[in-house]
Amino acid sequence: MEERDFFDERPETRNHLMTCPHCGQQAEYQLNWLVRRKKAQLGRGADERDRARFAKAQSYMVRRDDLVGCKNIRCRKRFDVAGIQSVAFL
């Protein structure tokens, strides 16, 4: 079985407070995340290795956005999303 068989996936947006490194203005930005929640039970056709991997699996989120555009009208430069983890466990 693949890892995707252990989780239910769905996209989600969350708000994060970030500061533009170019102009220094702080604003709230929406970042896209892929949320993978562990299923309640393992499907059929799983062997012992799959059951052991499923027992260790945890729900987690993966950040999909790497760049955001500054909300300051005068700046509007794109910058990297730094300081926010790319993978976060729930």
Q: How far apart are CA 80 and CA 28, in angstroms?
A: 14
Structural domain count, the chain = 1
Is pLDDT above 80 for 1?
A: no
**Does 64 map to a domain?**
yes
For residue 62, name the pLDDT band (cuts at 50, 70, 90): very high
How high is the pLDDT of residue 68?
A: 96
Query: For residues 26 and 19, is the Cβ–Cβ distance under 8 A?
Result: yes
**Does 47 map to a domain?**
yes
**Does 1 map to a domain?**
no
Residue (of 49, 36, 48, 34) closest to 4 by Cα position: 36
**Does 72 map to a domain?**
yes
How high is the pLDDT of residue 39?
A: 93
**Does 65 map to a domain?**
yes
Domain that residue 38 falls in: 7-89
Mean pLDDT of all residues in 56-84: 94
User: In this predicted model, what pLDDT tens digit does every residue of 19-59 receive, in sequence order?
Assistant: 999 999 999 999 999 999 999 988 787 889 988 999 999 99
Query: For residues 18 and 29, is the Cβ–Cβ distance under 8 A?
Result: yes
How high is the pLDDT of residue 3?
A: 82
How high is the pLDDT of residue 47?
A: 87
Q: How far apart are CA 52 and CA 40, in angstroms?
A: 15
